[in-house]
Amino acid sequence: MTTPPDQPIIIHHIEGRRSERIAWLCEEFGWPYELRYVPGDLVASLEALGEAHVMRMAPIVDIGATRMVESAAILEYLLLRHGDGRFRPAHDRPEIADYLQWLHFAEGSGMFRALIERMILQLTDYKPPAEVAYVYVGGSRRVLDFAEATLATRPYFAGDAFTAADIMMHFPLRAAGLVLDPEAPLTAIFSDTRCGLGAYPHINAFLDRIVARPAFQRAMAATMPSGPPPR
């Protein structure tokens, strides 16, 4: 039995954005949470984020008196304080290395490379300097190849059990897939389109597993009550 935070977790949110990760973890535990955003108005939601924190990004989360940004840190904080050992390996288990790596790879390498590469490809007049092109062009494919090779050996990123690293990796897998499918609109990331992921059977099997989770479905219904946002 886990000990939920004393007060509902407040998630400053934008529909379809990375703040859904925190709602997803709360749903996995059955913890109460409150989503703060302006339904149907992405700009107003973004402005509200700017009033809550100088970083103006989703998620911003209040856990009691503690306000945090950075989704992996928020998930890990919640697990360490309230998780009772669930959804992360213990520090002395061999799986801890993969858990920590994927938990942080998601934003540090996965999203970073997908976003930069998409930007390079979209700015057609922009000729990146050779060293930028060398590092970032093809980066999304490398992210997906690494994830595919990992998921060929085990059902989840950190082994046989679902963890917060899987919550973190859901978003970058879709973002990297979008780079491989330049025809796909950015909005394809807000639903389970699998754009650009056709050549990755193990990533697809992983996505099948995680989107089937009742907690994932409850989180998506709560964070996008009117369905995927238009932009």
Q: Which residues would be at the binding site for ligand GSH (CB under 6 A)?
A: 14, 17-18, 56-59, 70-71, 107
With a CB cutoff of 8 Å and minimum separation 6, the contacts of 63 are 5, 9, 74, 77, 78, 81
Of 150 and 223, nearer to ligand GSH (C-beta) is: 223
Closest C-alpha among 217, 173, 167, 220 to residue 198:
173
Q: Which is nearer to ligand GSH, 20 or 148 (CB)?
A: 20
| Nearest residue (CB) to ligand GSH, 11 versus 180 | 11
- In the numeric block, which tokens belong to residue 67? 């306000």
* Beta carbon of residue 228, minimum distance to ligand GSH (angstroms, whole number): 13
Nearer to ligand GSH, 58 or 79 (CB): 58
d(CA 196, CA 212): 21
Angle between helices 20-29 and 164-180 (to 10 degrees): 140
Q: Rounded to an integer, what distance in angstroms lies between the CA atom of residue 217 and that of residue 231?
A: 21
Query: Does residue 12 contact residue 36 with C-beta atoms inside 8 Å?
Result: yes
As measured in angstroms, the least distance from the Cβ of 37 to ligand GSH is 11
CB of 167 to ligand GSH, least distance (A): 11
Q: Which is nearer to ligand GSH, 69 or 153 (CB)?
A: 69
Closest CB 61 distance from ligand GSH, rounded Å: 9
**Contact of 194 with 177, CB cutoff 8 Å:** yes
Q: Shortest Cβ distance from residue 92 to ligand GSH (Å)?
A: 27
